[in-house]
Each structure stands twice: as structure tokens, then as C-alpha cells.
Chains A and B, each alone.
Chain A
């Protein structure tokens, strides 16, 4: 469904991604693992259209995404839940969710709204509250809910567990499985290796702008190199 080939990208003279090849199939959960500053968010921004790569291309269902604007990419069915959530603090929870359907699935806004309220009961209790007054975990839920309002076929979650309590992290990963069960492919960009591999079917490991490891989650968990580098085992 999503095919990334030979992506090079960076900021000005600084190269961040140096030849990335990656693939996400329909209905898959794919984890993109790596520590801080290796280029995970940059790759995410290349897919979402915020950064134009210097070489390589991204295709979605065979259609070229590279060079398209973020809003066109949203309209094609890729939703991003960004690092830092980026919810609208001055708008209510309900308004935040409604804006999620700004570019896509506007006709089914009502049904999707109800569906998302059912997934996130805590949000549905706070629909009239300003998003800026929510806790970090609730804002993360809201950012995901907003992403789902566009009925994405691919949902990109950038560090969804960042800054959440262990209990909430657990809940977050359970949620990823639940969203995926409804047929949405998920790209999970994470530092939390153990839990990501628990829900993902396949995974890639990014180091210094290059993919250094890839395979099914089971293979990765069994890989002594990964266990040593990321799990300290």
C-alpha cells in the first residue's frame, strides 16, 4: 500500500535520511524503531508531505506522493498523529474532532464522531472542554481521535507513548491493536521497542538515517543484536 524507495532527505546541507526503502501493506502494523535524532520524525514528515525529499519517492496505492502538499496527502487517506500532539488548545474537544474530518470523510462526520466517542469514553465526557485543559494522555487520545475522523487507510503515530504514564502506555498500545482491527494500517514510530514489537507485525530499525534491521516482530525479538542494542539483554 505504501512504498518508500530510496528516500534521501534533510534540512539544508544536513542529510538526515540516507536511502530509505520501506513498505507497509494494507492492514499491517509496522513499527519504525530507533532512538532520538536518527530521522524517524523526518521520515514521517516526508510521508505526510511536510518535507520534500532530495531523492527517492513515496507511493501510496501506486500513486506518487512525493511533491504533493500535506492536505492532498490527507485527502488520499493518510493521517498523521504528530509528535507533540498538535491539538488545537483553544478549541473544544468536539471541535478538534470535527476538524479531523476537514479534508476527508466530511459526509460521515456524525457516524465517525460517535464511533470515536465510543473508542475514547474519556473524551466523550469532555466534549465541551477546551483541548488545552486536557491532560497529556487525553490530548494524545484526542490527537488520535482527530486523525481517525478522516477515516484514514494509513495512520501514522509519531511517538504516541511519549510522556505518558506506564499504565497509559499500556492502554495506548492496546488501542493501536484495536484501531488496526478495524482495517486501518498503522505506522508506529516509537522508541519503546519492547511494547511496539508486542503489537506490530513487522518492524524496521533506523540508525543514523539508514535502516539497519528489518523483519517480522518475532524475528526482531529473537535477534541478539537488537536485544543487546535496544533492550539491554
Chain B
């Protein structure tokens, strides 16, 4: 049994990195716009299809597709916030909730209508190659996803703390009026943030596709874990999302090992409830002041 634990932990970490990447976008949007983006899972689904169609029609490798899909989804996210969410919500946070929920329903059902509920996969043999890490055999596609997710989390942290735009985003997040006073365009900053969050989820999609699949419902598989990750890490906390995502990946893998594959997610929700009991603001969340 103990010989299975290390591979489970390592596999969990690779999955956890993808959870973290999805949650990173979600927590960024929550932290800055104070909205819960119910459309996040649908955007992940769109990302998976984008990568799938690029592969099946143009033969573009999903990893190469990153350079097309991620910028395109940044623009998509920017426009969604600017053209759909902001005007329809008219400044009320309850409305935003409904708008993002409606958006997800519309996107999911359009996907079902146009693309049917067939499961689509891409055939990229090298992604299933195994690599030996500390005596455990891991799928290459997962290992790539792990390092890419960590890299992006690091880059995002640098962007948020070291650049002028990053400072502006953090300023808008907590003191909107003060931001307007120094001349920051708040609506632009909101849309920018939504775009970055959407780009993160698109990247996660490109990293997932080689070892996963696309269906119109695929978003649900991830969005529940992503919400859990966001709350567990501390809502709006980027490092929190990373830590919680990795932790949940490991917990899920260990849960699967001890309780059987289909019950793996029980561990996630037990860990979640325990976190809320003992640290209601999340692992790295700041207590409301």
C-alpha cells in the first residue's frame, strides 16, 4: 500500500495544479470585481473545444494552440465583461450573479446544440508517455500541465506585484473611488481582470485536453472543485488558490486510493468543511475588517 502513496500524491499534485490554474482565474475575478463568475466552467469548456477544433481541423497541437487560444480568450473575457456583464448588471452585485449564471446556461446549451453531447478527445500519443519521478510513473501530459500551471501562477504573481497595471488592479479591487481619483479607468481594469481570468481558464483547457476530453458539460467537473479551491484558499487570494488547488488535488488522489476512485472527491469536501470550521476566511484569506 505505502508504495502507492507517493505516486498518488504526485499524481494529485499534477491534477491539483490544473485546479489551481482554473481557480486562479476565478479568485482573481472575485477578488477584483467582487463577482462570482458562474460562467467560469463554461469558459473552460469553450477553451477545451477551441483547442479540440484547432487540433482536429488544422492539426495544431494543443500545446501549440496555447499561443492562439489564450490571447483569444483574453479578448473574449474582456469583451464579455465590457459588453455583456457590466451593462446588464447595472452596478448591482445580485444582478451580476444572475448574468454570469445565465451566460453559463446559454453557452452550455449552445454547445450542446451545435456540438452535441459526444465526448471529444484528441489523439496525441506523446502526452500519454510516462515519465519516472521519484520512482513513480506519471503521465507526461499531466507533468507538463503541472509545471505550466506553476509557471503561470508565478508569472501572475509577478504581474500583480511588480507592474503598474498589477498595482492598478489591486487598487481597484479594494478602493474603487481612490482608484478613480488617481485617474485609473475602473471599467477598463475590470474588463482587463476578467480577460486575465478567462485567459487562465483557457490555458488550463489547452493543458487539460491532451489527457482529458471535451463535452458541453465538462465545465461542471471542474467548476465545483474550482469554487471549493477559491473559498478554501481564501476568496480573492492568488497564493491561496495555488496552495488549496494543489492540496485538493492530493486529497482527491489519496481519497481515491483509500476509498475507491469514484469516492475521491469526498476527501475534497471533507477537507473543505474542516477548513471552513477552523479557518472560515480560508487558508490564506484575510479576515474581513
Assembled-state Cα–Cα distance A50/B178 (Å): 12
B189 to chain A, nearest CB (A): 11
Residues of chain A within 8 A (CB-CB) of B178 are: 82, 85-88
B167: Cβ under 8 A from any A Cβ: yes
Number of interface residues of B (CB under 8 A): 18
* Option from B164, B174, B177 in Cβ contact (under 8 Å) with A102: B164
Residues of chain B within 8 A (CB-CB) of A103 are: 182-184
Residues of chain B within 8 A (CB-CB) of A91 are: 167, 170-171
Assembled-state Cα–Cα distance A87/B168 (Å): 12
The closest CB in chain A to the CB of B171 belongs to: A88
Segment 72-113 of A: residues with Cβ below 8 Å from B: 74-75, 80, 82, 85-91, 95, 98-100, 102-104
- Asked if residues B183 and A74 are in contact (CB atoms below 8 Å), the reply is yes
- Asked if residues B182 and A74 are in contact (CB atoms below 8 Å), the reply is yes
* Option from B167, B180, B289 in Cβ contact (under 8 Å) with A70: B180
The closest CB in chain A to the CB of B174 belongs to: A90
Residues of chain A within 8 A (CB-CB) of B184 are: 71, 99, 102-103
B132: Cβ under 8 A from any A Cβ: no
The closest CB in chain A to the CB of B165 belongs to: A102
Nearest first, the 7 closest Cβ-Cβ pairs linking A and B are A103-B183, A86-B178, A74-B183, A71-B183, A88-B171, A90-B174, A102-B182
Q: Which of B177, B180, B185: most chain A Cβ within 10 A?
A: B180
A103 to chain B, nearest CB (A): 3
* Option from A71, A100, A146, A150 in Cβ contact (under 8 Å) with B180: A71
Given contact pairs A90-B170, A102-B164, A80 touches B183 in the complex (Cβ within 8 A): no
B residues at A contact (CB < 8 Å): 164, 167-168, 170-171, 173-175, 177-185, 289
Residues of chain B within 8 A (CB-CB) of A86 are: 175, 177-178, 181
Assembled-state Cα–Cα distance A95/B180 (Å): 16
Given contacts A71-B185, A99-B184, A102-B183, 10 further A-B contacts (CB under 8 A): A50-B180, A71-B183, A74-B182, A80-B181, A82-B178, A98-B167, A99-B182, A100-B182, A146-B182, A150-B183
- Asked if residues B175 and A102 are in contact (CB atoms below 8 Å), the reply is no
A residues at B contact (CB < 8 Å): 48, 50, 70-71, 74-75, 80, 82, 85-91, 95, 98-100, 102-104, 132, 146, 150
Q: Can you list 20 A-B pairs, Cβ within 8 angstroms, ordered by A?
A: A70-B180, A70-B181, A71-B180, A71-B184, A71-B185, A74-B183, A80-B181, A82-B177, A86-B178, A89-B175, A90-B174, A91-B167, A95-B170, A99-B171, A99-B184, A100-B182, A102-B168, A102-B182, A103-B183, A150-B182
Assembled-state Cα–Cα distance A82/B177 (Å): 9
Q: Which of B164, B175, B185: most chain A Cβ within 10 A?
A: B175
The closest CB in chain B to the CB of A146 belongs to: B182
Assembled-state Cα–Cα distance A150/B184 (Å): 12
Residues of chain A within 8 A (CB-CB) of B182 are: 74, 99-100, 102-103, 146, 150
Residues of chain B within 8 A (CB-CB) of A85 are: 178
* Option from B167, B168, B175, B183 in Cβ contact (under 8 Å) with A104: B183
A18 to chain B, nearest CB (A): 25
The closest CB in chain B to the CB of A95 belongs to: B167
A80 to chain B, nearest CB (A): 5
Assembled-state Cα–Cα distance A85/B170 (Å): 17
Assembled-state Cα–Cα distance A103/B180 (Å): 10
Assembled-state Cα–Cα distance A196/B180 (Å): 27
The closest CB in chain B to the CB of A75 belongs to: B183
Assembled-state Cα–Cα distance A132/B168 (Å): 16
The closest CB in chain B to the CB of A100 belongs to: B182
Residues of chain B within 8 A (CB-CB) of A99 are: 164, 167-168, 171, 179, 182, 184
- Asked if residues A88 and B181 are in contact (CB atoms below 8 Å), the reply is no
Given contact pairs A86-B175, A88-B170, A90-B170, A98 touches B164 in the complex (Cβ within 8 A): yes
The closest CB in chain B to the CB of A80 belongs to: B181
A50 to chain B, nearest CB (A): 7
B168 to chain A, nearest CB (A): 6
A157 to chain B, nearest CB (A): 12
Assembled-state Cα–Cα distance A98/B175 (Å): 15
Assembled-state Cα–Cα distance A70/B171 (Å): 16
Residues of chain B within 8 A (CB-CB) of A50 are: 180
* Option from A75, A82, A90, A104 in Cβ contact (under 8 Å) with B181: A82
Assembled-state Cα–Cα distance A104/B179 (Å): 14
Residues of chain A within 8 A (CB-CB) of B167 are: 91, 95, 98-99
Q: Which of B170, B174, B183, B185: most chain A Cβ within 10 A?
A: B183
Given contact pairs A87-B175, A102-B164, A70 touches B183 in the complex (Cβ within 8 A): yes
The closest CB in chain B to the CB of A85 belongs to: B178
The closest CB in chain B to the CB of A74 belongs to: B183
- Asked if residues A74 and B181 are in contact (CB atoms below 8 Å), the reply is yes
Assembled-state Cα–Cα distance A74/B184 (Å): 10
Assembled-state Cα–Cα distance A141/B86 (Å): 35
